[in-house]
Amino acid sequence: MTELKIAADVIAAENEKRSKALTSDYAALGENLSRRGVDIGAITQKVSEFFVAVPSWGVGTGGTRFARFPGEGEPRGIFDKLDDCAVIHQLTRATPTVSLHIPWDKTDPKDLVAKAQELGLGFDAMNSNTFSDAPDQKHSYKYGSLSHTDAATRAQAVEHNIECIEIGNAIGSKALTVWIGDGSNFPGQSNFTRQFERYLSSMADIYKALPDDWRMFSEHKMYEPAFYSTVVQDWGTNYLIAQTLGEKAFCLVDLGHHAPNTNIEMIVARLIQFKKLGGFHFNDSKYGDDDLDAGSIEPYRLFLVFNELVDAEARGVKGFHPAHMIDQSHNVTDPIESLISSANEIRRAYAQALLVDRAALAGFQDGNDAMMATDTLKRAYRSDVEPILAEARRRAGGAIDPIATYRASGYRKRVAAERPACVGGSGGIV
Ligand SMILES: [Mn+2]
């Protein structure tokens, strides 16, 4: 029996207020879509089967290089974090798995599994951390980890990643995302080639420890924490890594890790074409790696990314199953509300992309009709799919309006009373 974090009668009462309107809006949209030859039931079904993983670190308040302002009732550790993740899934029915970060979430795997089962959650990709020093570690990562000039430091970083695989194995995870902060702050500080050779050699050692049914993700990032160069700076380098390591290695695309104005959807298309798209870290960005909420700044770009994913799905690309994860930092909102909103925005982009008339689009592309081709995308993007998203939630036992229901439940006040503010916390400036 799943332990419910939000009382079922609260969801029922909140849904009751909105049920009649939703039924009517859903019928109207269904009628509109049927005129376009689209079956709303099929779209709703697909949306309800689309899931995105919540990062354990995302439920704590984030921070910037300026400061961190803790929120009320912040999770004190991994078990509180899992409680918060369960709330998000209970209301959205879109986030059944949690992505853990080691060592932040390190504890007995048996307890993790027991707690997750109690809450009806599972575990997604494991995330390693060799970008900061753990309290008792022997060698510092100040000057890098997997690409460090010192062999003992590299070995320690490899060992940590292997430990993440072992923990993941014990809790049912099937992927490792390798996080690094390696790079340089000054021209001349590092030899690009020798540094990358060391990185590849360390990654190959981790790859050797990867179970056959696992995937390994590397993530490119143009700058930060290193500001002159990073070892995995762009998708080209990321592709080279995945290609060099082998068939279980894939590229992760974090939407915030590109130069401004980069055509991210095109990178996604290229990685799909060459079978190296591993998945996403969803978030949004105005200037850099802002880690803002998915769809909050450039919802059209999110739609265009999903347009590529749906296109691949429609073409039946072999072995295509990207991992969907959220990677955000919440500084001024209740993290639970931001993650609820983001999960919905990601599903919205997916639903809109499902509405693209692909046969018509291909015809306009082949006929060089630029205006009608772009209008075909816009037509899908302009569709208000909220009734589809709400209906998918309602059918799965979630909330028609998850944020309003969350507020009505008083969850945050309740946990604020149970969880005294802790100074350190692991809210994570990531
Ligand atoms: Mn990321």
What confidence tens digit (pLDDT) does each residue in 73-126 have? Answer: 999 999 999 999 999 999 999 999 999 999 999 999 999 999 999 999 999 999
> Ligand 1 centre and the CA of 179: distance in Å?
8
Closest CA to 5 of 409, 419, 335, 413: 409
Q: What is the pLDDT of residues 283-326, one digit of tens each?
A: 999 999 999 999 999 999 999 999 999 999 999 999 999 999 99
Calculate how far, in angstroms, residue 250's C-alpha sits from the geometric centre of ligand 1.
14
Number of domains the chain is built from: 1
3 assigned to some structural domain: no
Q: Is the separation of the CB atoms in 127 and 216 below 8 Å?
A: no
pLDDT at 1 over 80: no
Q: How far is the CA of 40 from the centre of ligand 1 (A)?
A: 33
Strand partners, 127: 101, 177
Instruction: Tell me whether residue 1 is in a domain.
Output: no
* CA 261 / ligand 1 centre spacing (Å): 18
- Tell me, yes or no, whether 294 lies in a domain: yes
Alpha carbon distance 280, 294 (integer Å): 12
Quote the ligand 1 centre to 26 CA distance (angstroms).
35
Q: Assign 422 a pLDDT band (cuts: 50, 70, 90).
A: low
Rounded distance, CA 233 to CA 180, Å?
A: 11
For residue 289, give every residue at least 6 positions away whose Cβ sits within 8 Å of its Cβ, in sequence order, or none.
Answer: 221, 224, 254, 256, 257
Q: From the CA of 430, how far away is ligand 1's center (Å)?
A: 8
pLDDT-based confidence at residue 338 (cuts at 50, 70, 90): very high
CATH number at residue 82: 3.20.20.150
Residue 231 lies in a domain: yes
Over residues 121-159, the pLDDT tens digits come to 999 999 999 999 999 999 999 999 999 999 999 999 999
- Residue 12 lies inside a defined structural domain of this protein: yes
Ligand 1 centroid vs 100 CA: distance in angstroms?
A: 13
Q: If you measure from the C-alpha of residue 273 to the centroid of ligand 1, how many angstroms do you get, rounded to a whole number?
A: 22
Secondary structure E strands in 173-275: 175-178, 183-184, 215-219, 229-230, 249-254
CA 306 to CA 267: how far, in whole Å?
A: 12
Please tell me the distance between residue 195's alpha carbon and the centre of ligand 1 in angstroms. 22
What pLDDT, on the 0 to 100 scale, is given for residue 424?
A: 52
3-class DSSP state of 121: coil
Cα–ligand 1 centroid distance for 1 (angstroms): 34
What is the reported pTM?
A: 0.96
Which residues constitute the domain of residue 330?
A: 8-426
Contact between residue 116 and residue 170 where contact means Cβ atoms under 8 Å apart: no
Q: Give CA torsion, residues 161, 166, 167, 169, to 10 deg.
A: 120
b/e code 336-353 from CB counts within 10 Å (16+ = b): bbbbbbbbbbbbbbbbbb
* Token code pair at residue 157: 């970083």
Q: What is the mean pLDDT of the chain?
A: 96
How far, in Å, from the CA of 162 to the mean position of ligand 1? 20
Query: For the stretch 9-20, what's the b/e string if a residue is b when 16 or more beta carbons lie within 10 angstroms of its beta carbon?
Result: ebbeebbeebee
Write down the pLDDT at residue 353: 98
225 belongs to a structural domain: yes
The predicted structure's pLDDT at residue 427: 45
How far is Cα of residue 99 from the mean position of the Cα atoms in its chain?
A: 9
Contact 412, 74 (CB under 8 A): no
Residue 428 has pLDDT above 50, yes or no: no
What single letter denotes the amino acid at residue 276? K
Please report which confidence band the pLDDT of residue 423 belongs to, taking 50, 70 and 90 as the band edges: low
User: In percent, how much of the chain has pLDDT > 90?
Assistant: 96
Instruction: Enter the tokens of residue 427.
Output: 């809210």
